[in-house]
A and B are shown apart, each in its own frame.
Chain A
Amino acid sequence: MAKPRPVTGLHPDRRLRPNARRILQVRIDEVYSFDGLVADPANVTELHDMRIACKRLRYLLEIFGIAFEADLEPFLDEVKGLQDLLGDIHDCDVQIPMLEGHLRWLSDREGGAARRLVAQTTASRPRRRTAPPKPASEAAFRVFERQLETGRRGDERVGVHALIARRRRERDELYARFMDTWRRLKAERFRPRLEAAVGIEGDA
């Protein structure tokens, strides 16, 4: 997670408003520093970091709202909307590898179960012959393991695969919605309007 940029020039013994303005300026910059980087849906880390930046800005707008005459609620709602979309994208980005890990976990469990079963089978085999029984060949073991997998836990994979596919589709849709929202906010001059509302001097 990206660390918040330091805010300098604060004067704790002065009023809330000028200090809040300084902090907000840095946090607004932080959100907009991801513009361009998030245009690539594969930039998972940048999308996550932008979510964190939005979260910081959103909470600041909540906390410092009282210090400004302008109504910051509409700005807060927009930032929250962005944060929610980025949060849902992040959930997919976290969940898909987790589900893939779960598939591997299922395989490991089955493999372990298969080995135990083979050991049990070998141990319980009646010993009529004087010569020790030959161990099963690796190839024979693999066939046995595959059969066991299919019979025991293979059915669990169907649902997990379906869920992975579903999450991938959702991720694509969420990303498209996020980009639409982000482009709209830029077209509506969200940043200069917010900066004007909190008295940050700019080209608004």
Chain B
Amino acid sequence: MARAWEVPGLRGDARFRDAAGRVIWTRWTEMMSYREGTLLGEDIEELHAMRVSSRRLRAAMDAFEGAFPPKSFKGYLRQVKEITDVLGDARDLDVAIERLTGLLQGLRRDERAGIEGLIARYRQERAAEDPAISALFDRIDETGFEERLAGYVEKHTGVRLAKLKPAPPEA
């Protein structure tokens, strides 16, 4: 599993509000760093890493919900939840295909046809997920979600996000 990015400038004695801005923006940046690889679709680990990051982001938003006005915050949380859900559907199929393929070798001959049929069905369903992922990110771009989220986080936490510059952990 991809390691979580370090949160720049986060200290144990930070104000709750300040920590909220730093953690949420770091997790957003971390998640979006996997976007190109996910859309490319050549390596299922890219989508997996993006989904894990989206769950970290969601968890961070849940944890720091108290730093934001409840009503307006829900809209941002909903969008992130949608990202997790769409990626989750694709990931579940990737995992199922991988596990079933791994099972094949240990199966009796008369059991193989059923599992091969199931894998073929899951592959078809998985192929149908790609346009949904692509459409989701188009929507995020079209609605300027990232810019709105950045403005919102800055406004309510006082953290200057342009100065934050989160980066992946060194290998």
> A13 — which chain B residues lie within 8 A by C-beta?
15-17
Interfacial chain B residues near A141, Cβ < 8 Å? none
From B19, B62, B63, residue with most partner A Cβ within 10 Å = B63
Query: Is A196 located at the chain interface by the 8 A CB criterion?
Result: no
B123 to chain A, nearest CB (A): 14
* A63 touching B23 in the complex, CB below 8 Å, given contacts A10-B66, A14-B16, A56-B59: yes
B15 touches A102 (CB 8 A): no
**A14-B10 contact in complex given A60-B63, A102-B118, A159-B114, C-beta closer than 8 Å:** no
In the assembled complex, the Cα of A106 lies from the Cα of B103 at a distance in Å of 21
Size of chain B's interface in residues, with CB distance under 8 A? 36
Contact with B along A165-190 (1 / 0, CB 8 A): 00000000000000000000000000
> Is B153's CB within 8 Å of the partner chain A?
no
Report which of A64, A95, A163 forms a contact with B63, defined as CB distance below 8 A: A64
Is the Cβ of A156 less than 8 Å from the Cβ of B59?
Answer: no
Q: Is A204 an interface residue (CB 8 A)?
A: no
Min CB distance A73 to B, Å, is 14
Which of A19, A102, A106 is the most central at the interface, judged by chain B CB atoms within 10 Å of its CB? A19
- Complex Cα spacing A93 to B138, Å: 34
Q: Which residues of A contact B4 (CB under 8 A)?
A: 62
Q: Within the assembled complex, what's the spacing in Å between the Cα atoms of A163 and B110?
A: 12
What 9 additional pairs, Cβ within 8 angstroms, besides A16-B13, A59-B55?
Answer: A10-B16, A13-B16, A59-B59, A63-B63, A68-B12, A155-B110, A160-B118, A162-B111, A163-B114
Q: Closest 7 CB pairs between A and B?
A: A159-B114, A59-B59, A10-B66, A159-B111, A156-B114, A160-B114, A12-B67
Q: Which residues of A line the B interface, CB within 8 A? A: 4, 7, 10-17, 19-20, 23, 55-56, 59-60, 62-64, 66-68, 95, 99, 102, 105-106, 153, 155-163
By a beta-carbon cutoff of 8 Å, the part of chain B in contact with chain A is 4, 10-17, 19-20, 23, 55-56, 59-60, 62-63, 65-67, 96, 100, 103, 107-108, 110-118, 121
